[in-house]
Structure 1
Amino acid sequence: MSKMVRRLLIAVVAVIVVLGLVAVAGFFWVTSGLGVSKRDPNADTRKEAVYLVMIRDTRAGGNADLLNADASANADVGRTDAMVLARVLKDQSIDLVSIPRDTLVDIPACERSDGTKTEPQRTKINAAYALGAGADGSEEASEAGMRCAERAVTWLTGFSLGGSVVLDSKGVEDVVDQLGGVELCATPEQAAAIPGVPEGCHMVDGQTAFNFSRARKGVDDGSDLARIQRQQQLLKAVIQQVRGLSVPQDVPTLLTMAHDLSGHMLATEGVVTFSNAQRMLSTMKHGSVNTQTIPVNLSSEGGNVVASEEAKAYWRAFSQGTPLPAS
């Protein structure tokens, strides 16, 4: 081997090592403020595993201003305003299936951080996180609350999750603002009912996007199902903005966004990884994004809903790693 070839190989190896170190350093910087919860020993470890993504309705951690609420209500750990089952089939689809917060389920007994246990009860699924988090403060997301929500979803669906992520309201606003806003489309009725939301399709900031996705009373038919449609529109809008980013030019934007988000997020161990990020970004570019809501029927118990027989087809698709039923 000639001296020139050896030098060239050494240079190539050096570049690869440097890039690898930069990537590792970037990853640790991104995740330095990220809360991490211990993984369930029964968690699904397949690449096509399903993850539970939740947004908790709390006034703590700077969320009171965003919610136009009284910060003195900080003691409330917050129920989950949104619960989404998320799955990535690499380069095929990103599947986001919403579970209505008013879905009645049997929530099993959950262990709290102080060692006490909750009583098994039948109630709305959005109460599961708050029940588990009852012994914790509200400033940061609760591991016990996350585990209780995971248990409730597993009891409902019959399959194990790969893990879960809990975001607060401020985290949603920050993501949209870091992306430079997102395009949302509002009907005249929605624009009239939701403060700051313009009629038609417009680029909006994080505050406006959050208001659009959270409003319920006096908007559309006032149901959680109608609100879910607006939440799903926001999810698609965020993904569309991320799709528009380019590598490597926009890598600093992505790194900063992820780092800033970490202070508003708790994730199960193993969720935030290089391989998961790579699969997600690749599928954003080359696959489709499916947003659906589990089929439900109205319940006789206080105007809530229950998962219908048709929902079982979704549970099978998730557990078997196959495409979802057509919506």
Structure 2
Amino acid sequence: MSEPTHGSGPTDGASPDSAPTPEGASPDSAPTPEGASGDGAHATAPRRRSDRHTAKKHRHPWMRRAAFGVAGVLVVALVLGVAAYVKLNGNIQRLDITSALGDRPTPQATTDAQTNLGPVNIFVMGSDSREGTKLGKGQTEYGMTGARSDTNLIVHLSADRKSAIVVSIPRDSMTMAPRDCKNKNDKVDNGVIRQWNQNFTLGGPACTIRTFEGLTGIFIDHFVVIDFRGFQDMVDALGGVTVCTPEPIDDKDSHLVLKAGKTKVNGQQALGYVRVRKTVGDGSDLGRIDRQQAFLSSVIQEATKSSLLLRPDKLFRFLNATTSAMTTDKGLDIGEMKDIAQSVQKIGTDQIRFVKLPTESYAPDPNRVQWTSSADTIWKAIRKDQPLPGTKVPSGTTTATGSPTTSEPALTVSPDAISVRVSNDSGIAGLAKQTAAELQVQGFKIDSYVTGTGKPTDGVVVRYGPGQKEAARTVAAAYPGAQIRADDLLGSTIELSMGLDSPQAVEVPNRLGTTPLPKPSVTATQSTGPSETIKARTASQDICT
């Protein structure tokens, strides 16, 4: 049926400007009289225009429909994308613990020149309860009353985004900890010895992170608490995960029955597998950590080799299950997670290393463990964003050291108004005397300098009493990367601890006098000897090994 024609002219469907076309000929192929001039060719133009006009009249409805269809698809995709973002972001419980962390370490590593990114440290904790988490605006509860945490992982992403380290902390570790995490005057240094997982039970993520930062000097950028009840949904959304056990498992408490060898487990079985302890191996928490690390390797292998990213429905189910089981800090929203995920896309599975923190038996209770000196080697590598000793790194990898690139506020206290007590905690003779000379030449007053008698420490730590933070900043400026820590037991004198690998002194911006710094005669480096190797498994490793 033809479209109605408005105005005068034929109404039988023909255009008033068109002429009949011979059967089988196209409108644009009408013959031109032999020998016709340009004027003759010009005379055929109106018919060609009318033919195009007719064709446009017939084509436009289809083009419009196609355009509307494409626009519709884009609108639907946009709406679904926004809806998915809102849904996933709304799934995550958030907890602001900033004010409960007190004085925190200063990051020591710089931004990588190629990626323009700094290293990222994420603390991952497993929780079997969310009771008592008063989350929400205006709340001041930082704990998870009644919750327990058997899984604690430190995830370190290198600044060049070419490698990652995942360190497991045994739940039975005995370490120093703040006596009361709700009291800001209680710190690790003047605290008590406590079993590691008690920190989470007593004060949730805030107490755990505060204890960790006080022990290691590592700044935690983000934390994630995974609810064990949602963990199995994450595994089910992946379609199951393959595990490998060298011996059959028949555990009545977790209702887990597995044959020896490889088995693809569902969410409920996976939860039992990563938590079972007493009926497998030696029944220790250390054996459970080995299984957890092998399980995480399997998850990474499954996610990288499967079509998870090519299946939006499957990916959404996984992300929905993951975010529904998470509690994070307020800065770790979906946008930040996406940025982190995109930045680590090129990390190979052979450059993701799982490390079990080195421990030894704890003498007062053989059922507990304590960290060995090798643990300090791991923490130092993370602090300085350096490879673990004995590991190979991808070609072109750079390590970032020194002070952070962020600009510091101007110093406000003159050196001649500051009294410093220097402690040589490196075990290397002569360091305290040398440090005192480096400070005196810049105008600082030296109260005393002594040699510490305890175990050698690492790096430089500046401790200050009430109202002396600005003075401490001036002292710390002389040693790039120095940590600043409050100590309410100190008076007006600043305590400067010089440990192993302390940097050479530099001139502070507001120094007094012009006499050059004395040339150092003592270097606070560890004595040379057999290089230490930290045992680690990679995510690419066979899960049965």
1:258 matched to 2:258: no
What is aligned with 2:370? 306
299-308 vs 263-272, greater mean Cα deviation? 263-272
**Corresponding position of 2:445:** none
Q: Is residue 230–residue 325 contact of structure 2 (8 Å, CA) maintained in 1?
A: yes
Q: Match for residue 129 of structure 1?
A: 200
Question: Does 1:186 pair with 2:257?
Answer: no
Secondary structure of 2:119 counterpart: coil
Gaps of 5+ in 1: 1-11, 62-74, 133-144
Deviations 1:127-152 (A, max 9, x none): 101101xxxxxxxxxxxx11111111
Question: Displacement of 1:26 after TM fit?
Answer: 2.6
> For the residues of structure 2 that align with 1:19 and 1:248, how far apart are their CA atoms?
17
CA contact (8 A) 1:51 1:86 kept: yes
1:99 aligns with 2:143: no
Counterpart for residue 154 of structure 1: 213
Aligned-partner Cα distance in 1 for 2:131–2:257:
23
Selected match of 1:320 from 368, 380, 384: 384
CA distance in 2, matches of 1:236, 1:215: 18
Contact 2:242/2:298 (8 A) holds in 1: yes
1:239–1:284 CA contact under 8 A, matched in 2: no
- Measured in 2, the distance between the counterparts of 1:59 and 1:161 equals 22
Summarize the Cα distance change of 1:317–1:210 in structure 2 as closer, same or farther, 3 Å threshold. same
- Judged with a 3 Å threshold, the aligned counterparts in structure 2 of structure 1 residues 270 and 106 are, in CA distance, closer, same or farther, namely same
Shift in alpha-carbon separation, 1:120–1:131, aligned structure 2, 3 A: farther
Q: How many angstroms apart in 2 are the aligned matches of 1:247 and 1:180? A: 10
Q: Which residue of 1 aligns with 2:268?
A: 207
- 1:230 shift after superposition: 0.5
Residues 244-272 of structure 1: CA deviation (Å, up to 9, x unaligned):
34475323322222223333221112224
Alignment partner of 1:81 is 2:139: no
Report the CA distance between 1:56 and its aligned residue: 1.6
- Structure 1 residue 76, shift from structure 2 partner: 6.6
Instruction: Measure the CA separation in 2 of the matches of 1:261 and 1:251.
Output: 15
Describe the superposition over 1:267-297 as per-residue Cα deviations: whole angstroms up to 9, x where unpaired: 1122244354354366366423211111112
Higher relative contact order (CA 8 A, sep 6+): 1
Please give the TM-score of this superposition, normalised by the length of structure 1: 0.76
Residues 21 and 227 of structure 1, relative CA distance in 2, 3 Å threshold: same
Residues 280, 214 of structure 1: alpha-carbon distance in 2 compared, 3 angstrom cutoff: same
8 Å CA contact retained: 1:88, 1:280: no
Q: Residues of 2 paired with 1:39 and 1:20: CA distance?
A: 34
In the alignment, the residues of structure 2 paired with residue 91 and residue 50 of structure 1 have an alpha-carbon distance, to the nearest angstrom, of: 12
How far residue 213 of structure 1 moved from its aligned partner, in angstroms, is: 1.1
How many residue pairs align between the two structures? 287
- Aligned-pair Cα RMSD in Å: 3.4
Partner of 1:7: none
Q: Is the 8 A contact 2:162 2:347 kept in 1?
A: yes
Deviations 1:154-201, CA, capped at 9 Å, x for gaps: 12212210121111211221111110000100112x424572222211
What SS does the corresponding residue of 1:196 show, helix, strand or coil?
A: strand
* Counterpart amino acid of residue 353 in structure 2: N
